[in-house]
Amino acid sequence: MKKIDITHRIETTTSDGTSVNLYPLDEYLSDILLKFILDGRRSDKHDGSLTLVNYKPMATFSFVTSPGYMPFIIEISASEDYDLHYPSYIGVECCGKTIHLNLDNLSKIIKSYGFRIHKETVDVSVIQGATVKDFDFDVVILEYAREDFDTRFDDLKLAEAKIKTLIQALESNPTLRKDFHIEYIFYTNPYSDYLKYPYIYFIPEGAVNHIADFLLSLYQQNYGIITKLPPEFVPNENIENPELQQFLDKLPLDMIVKTAIGTYGSYPAVLLPEGNYSQYLAGNERVVNLGKNVVIVFGNSQEQQTLTPEQQNVEQNKEEGNSNTEQNKVEKVSNNVIAEGLGKQIQVIYETIDDDTINYEEKTYRLKALNEALDKLGKAITNALKSQTPLNANELRKYTEDIVKSAGLLYTNNFEYYLDYYENSLSETEELEVLVTLLTYIGKTMYDIDKKIKEYNSQQLTY
């Protein structure tokens, strides 16, 4: 993970005259995640805005509503860590994938240094407008387990040297070296400034990439501006080519701002969002379909003529494969967003019941009513999955109305964005996929309700 590098900061002024500092998106995300993990927090929240500067994604630590800036919120929470003792293998989950971490003899080395191996799960919720997406990843923690680690001022350098020696041994593991960022910190004993306890963290590198890719996809979706350049495309605004210029002269003004000028291979090219641009072409260009993007290449008609039919077929198949892969990714993300959005709205309704203005008896009553409504929806989904016939949107609307009413609330509009998408944009197979994920959210909320009712009952007994 990259820490904030002050030399990468860009100071700029928005269209309304507000001064803002911009940081590379990956550094912004790494910074807030590292601080959260190293500070040992259980929850945190950050505002931010995303923009592009010379095609590079940059983020602020505040909301910016000027044109070209996409505000977002990042909420972070962490589970309580649990002791793994000294395993030879750890399955580390990172945004839907498992990293297989084989420690082998490293567990013995970790033990010899006086550490125990723990693990916690960090949940990152990215909120942008009505869109919410969760990213979960595990963090492996080496916690110092002895009571005799005295790091007085004279011994601090020696203590750090000892930790760095252990980290060097850990980095001999290829998976740790390739897929994790290793960070250490000393915590001060609250009862003695002389006692400091070292902690070492293994943080999956891929977490930042997944979150950044999602934010960039939202930016491109909201603004129609290309956010990720294909590796073959090199941006260069100073490219001069008569055919390229004639093409740009034909484009509508609102389309010009969505183009990137540069080279594709060694030829002048324009990168655009997916679409049909045939009406602006002279006929000598090569059009490369990259799924969500289109590259129009100029000045290489001679190269095209030298390609054999077999070579042309290979290139066409490659481009179509890229397009299909990208399309599948978009559909997958969309399905997850709908399921997670519905699940989040259910969780929000549950959280509204824990209001200081409501007495324990009323809270318990509402929680039980909500639990009953969720149980009915859960059973309906289970039956739908068994029969492979998804619930339709109107059926889901009825259940969400019951859920809202059970919590003593009146509104249901927050569900409508997701239900409308469910109704109009998904196939039956995709609807079933949404229901599978939604069932998981229902189960989690019902579990939380059960714990909360027990908590309320316990609090009432103390009065």
pLDDT in tens, 223-249: 877 777 777 788 887 888 889 988 988
Q: Give me the pLDDT at residue 335, please.
A: 66
Give the pLDDT band of residue 306 (cuts 50, 70, 90). very low
pLDDT tens digits along 84-137 = 989 999 999 999 999 999 998 899 999 988 899 999 999 999 999 889 999 999
Q: Give me the pLDDT at residue 329, please.
A: 40
Q: Give me the pLDDT at residue 259, please.
A: 84
Q: How many CB atoms lie within 10 A of CB 213?
A: 15
pLDDT mean across residues, the chain: 82
pLDDT tens digits along 54-76 = 778 999 999 998 888 999 999 99
Query: Which of the residue ranges 20-34, 349-363, 392-406 has the most confident prediction, judged by mean pLDDT?
Result: 20-34
Higher pLDDT, 157 or 278: 278
Spans of all domains in the chain: 6-214, 229-306, 331-461
Residue 412: pLDDT over 70: no
pTM over 0.75: no
Percent residues over pLDDT 70 in the chain: 85
Q: Give me the pLDDT at residue 190, please.
A: 65
Q: Give me the pLDDT at residue 28, please.
A: 95
Rounded-to-integer distance, Cα 461 and Cα 463, Å: 5
Give the pLDDT band of residue 310 (cuts 50, 70, 90). very low
Least-confidence region, from 34-38, 408-412, 439-443, 446-450: 408-412
- For the segment 419-432, the average pLDDT, to the nearest whole number, is 83
Across-strand partners of 235? 262
Q: Give me the pLDDT at residue 110, please.
A: 93
Least-confidence region, from 168-182, 295-309, 349-363: 295-309
